[in-house]
Structure 1
Amino acid sequence: MDGPVDMVYMYFRYHPNKPAAYVALAVFALIDIYLILRIRLQKAPAFMYKMIPLLTMETLGFVMRIVCFSTPINSGKFLVSNLFTVLPPNIVSLINYNTITHMIRLSNLETDKFYLNHKKLKILSIVCTVVPSMLQGIGGALQTVADLRPIGLNMAIAGLSAQLAVFTSFFLFLIFVTREKSIQYQVEGVRNPKKKALIRVYIALSLLTIRLIYRLVQSSTGPTGPATTNEWPLYVFDALVVAFAFLVLSTLNSCFPKKDEEIFIEIDEEKCRSSRESNVSDTLKEEPREEYKL
């Protein structure tokens, strides 16, 4: 009886609370079901579909966490449990970036500025998400090997620091987007959809930043620090804030046109431009007549 308990303690650095793990699993499973139903039934924008596998992975992470202390634990189970609960919150930040690029696309801006080109911003957001996540993932994997633990810890800290720098830059860009009047779009039946979408992004970014700072403190203080040797910070500053972030982002579809309405909106705007050009043309044609009468 003492053997398996000691092995669990060796990996986790504390004795995991089983009821807390089951509650977290139930919460993420319910949010996952809600997200799937909302996205599929309400025809959310394509970029929101990324959240389904991410939230499912987070849910499976807690399944593996339960498996780790319910069956004989080994490094493979522990690593999978960690990866499944660490990577989704990192990658879900891509939804924040995609929200802004989708907003810019719907605004139909005609500009050569890099920071207002939704295609280039999309590529940049992928790079800014993948690179820090890879550093954290590889760093976490290396920490399971005793000889490579210092290298893995430094890589994890580097990845977390890089992600914090990205979050800070994105926050400044959010302020610019909020003030930029040329970034505007319409959604039938929704008043000021841009403002409502940005509020959700600000909230999600704040929640993910709290979780990121916690992970940075955890890595910086090492395996004997209070953030590592106590379980409650994991649920308060990680699981809880990630659950709220997913819940907030799952309502973004109410701030954007449905997938089958985007073409209609773009066509409608094209008609408006054609109408304006036609009115200008008619005005120019009428001016000589007025001059002739005089």
Structure 2
Amino acid sequence: MAILEPIRGGYYLWKYIPSLAAAIIFILVFLVMTALISQRMFRTKTWFCVPFAIGGLFEFAGYCARVSAHSKTGKIIPYAVQNVFILLGPALFAVSIYMCLSRIIRGIRADHHSLIQPRKLTRTFVTGDVLSFVVQGGAAGLMVTGKNAKIGEGIVVAGLLVQTIMFGLFAVTAVVFNRRIRHSPTTESSSSSVPWQKSMRMLYIVSALIMARSLFRVVEYAMGNDGYPLMNEWTLYIFDSVPMFAVMVVYYLWYPFWIAPQKLEVAIPLV
């Protein structure tokens, strides 16, 4: 029978025994969604979706670690692995989302409607996301010891705030672009064979879900190790696991096939 155990020094990594059933359910759903998205990515050669697929693998690995932690609450490695991988998965989703907007803009020849040039748009937001990724990843390691837990929580909050701010700026860029292109459409945007509006709706939905999840994480870590969210496992599943599963489902259902390089047939490199 699983029991709550401390690590050396009497510090408890967990405030509860991780649910075995819940972790297994999300292992399965993230594995299935990652496989489905990867299959579409390879079939359509939409390689900008590679970070998204890796994000799905991060989620899968994180919940595998939670299964291991169920009977090893006094072990550092399962706790650290699940903490890092579940925390960082959405940052990888964001990379593909940023690149997706850039390709939509260039695919309908609407560069002049974007607040940031599409080439710079990808670099700007991906750079911010990588910064958030590095900060959160480094801080998550500090949280496995009682002495550094508070410092780690503070740094994680900083990384999540960077991610949230970048998503806010991304949302503004997407909304402004959408309004401009509707007011002054290009020839390509008027074509019925280019489903760019469906792709924009997909970006709005997944971005809102990731933004809400990031805000939850900010509150979670800001409240500290003794705060309600970190003391109660259900908050993780309702405000992180379920939204990230929904992100993968929406992305799969409205997968941006049409912005594969071979379909756009553009002369400029889509990077």
Root-mean-square deviation over aligned CA pairs:
2.7
Conservation of the 8 A alpha-carbon contact between 2:80 and 2:141: yes
Counterparts of 2:239 and 2:83, CA distance in 1: 15
Structure-1 residue corresponding to 2:242 = 240
Structure-2 residue corresponding to 1:168 = 168
Conservation of the 8 A alpha-carbon contact between 2:109 and 2:188: no
Conservation of the 8 A alpha-carbon contact between 2:132 and 2:162: yes
Which entry has the higher C-alpha Rg, 1 or 2?
1
Counterparts of 2:221 and 2:73, CA distance in 1: 26
Aligned residues: 262
Counterparts of 1:95 and 1:144, CA distance in 2: 30
Which range is displaced more, 147-156 or 250-259? 250-259
Distance 1:175 1:79, change over 3 A: same
Structure-2 residue corresponding to 1:85 = 86
Deviation for aligned residue 1:255 = 5.3
Conservation of the 8 A alpha-carbon contact between 2:136 and 2:159: yes
Counterparts of 2:192 and 2:263, CA distance in 1: 14
Counterparts of 1:81 and 1:185, CA distance in 2: 48
The alignment status of 1:24 with 2:23, answered yes or no, reads no
Counterparts of 1:89 and 1:234, CA distance in 2: 14
Conservation of the 8 A alpha-carbon contact between 2:30 and 2:245: yes
Counterparts of 1:170 and 1:226, CA distance in 2: 31
Structure-2 residue corresponding to 1:74 = 75
Identity within the alignment, %: 21
The letter of the residue matching 2:96 is I
Deviation for aligned residue 1:200 = 0.3
The alignment status of 1:155 with 2:152, answered yes or no, reads no
Higher helix share: 1
Structure-2 residue corresponding to 1:200 = 202
SS of the residue 1:146 aligns to: coil
Conservation of the 8 A alpha-carbon contact between 1:98 and 1:122: yes
Conservation of the 8 A alpha-carbon contact between 1:135 and 1:155: yes
Deviation for aligned residue 1:184 = 5.1
Deviation by residue 1:179-200 (Cα, 9 ceiling, x = unmatched): 122675759x955512101100
Which blocks of at least 5 consecutive residues in structure 2 are unaligned?
none
Deviation by residue 1:123-143 (Cα, 9 ceiling, x = unmatched): 111211011222222222112
Structure-1 residue corresponding to 2:5 = 6
Counterparts of 2:41 and 2:169, CA distance in 1: 29
Structure-2 residue corresponding to 1:33 = 35
Counterparts of 2:76 and 2:115, CA distance in 1: 43
Structure-2 residue corresponding to 1:56 = 57
> How is 1:135-284 mapped onto 2 (pairs within 5 angstroms)?
135-181=135-181, 186=188, 193-254=195-256, 256-263=258-265, 266=266
Which range is displaced more, 250-259 or 62-71? 250-259
Q: TM-score, normalised to structure 1's length? A: 0.80
Structure-2 residue corresponding to 1:120 = 120
Deviation for aligned residue 1:201 = 0.5
Counterparts of 1:116 and 1:217, CA distance in 2: 31
Deviation for aligned residue 1:116 = 4.0
Conservation of the 8 A alpha-carbon contact between 2:141 and 2:152: yes
Counterparts of 2:167 and 2:211, CA distance in 1: 7
Which range is displaced more, 51-60 or 100-109? 100-109
Counterparts of 2:241 and 2:187, CA distance in 1: 34
Conservation of the 8 A alpha-carbon contact between 2:52 and 2:94: no
The letter of the residue matching 2:132 is P
Which range is displaced more, 133-142 or 223-232? 133-142
Counterparts of 2:48 and 2:186, CA distance in 1: 19
The letter of the residue matching 1:215 is R
Counterparts of 1:242 and 1:157, CA distance in 2: 19
SS of the residue 1:250 aligns to: helix
Deviation by residue 1:149-178 (Cα, 9 ceiling, x = unmatched): 232222111112222221221111111111
Counterparts of 1:18 and 1:119, CA distance in 2: 44
The letter of the residue matching 2:136 is Q
Conservation of the 8 A alpha-carbon contact between 1:21 and 1:65: yes
The alignment status of 1:95 with 2:96, answered yes or no, reads yes
The alignment status of 1:130 with 2:130, answered yes or no, reads yes
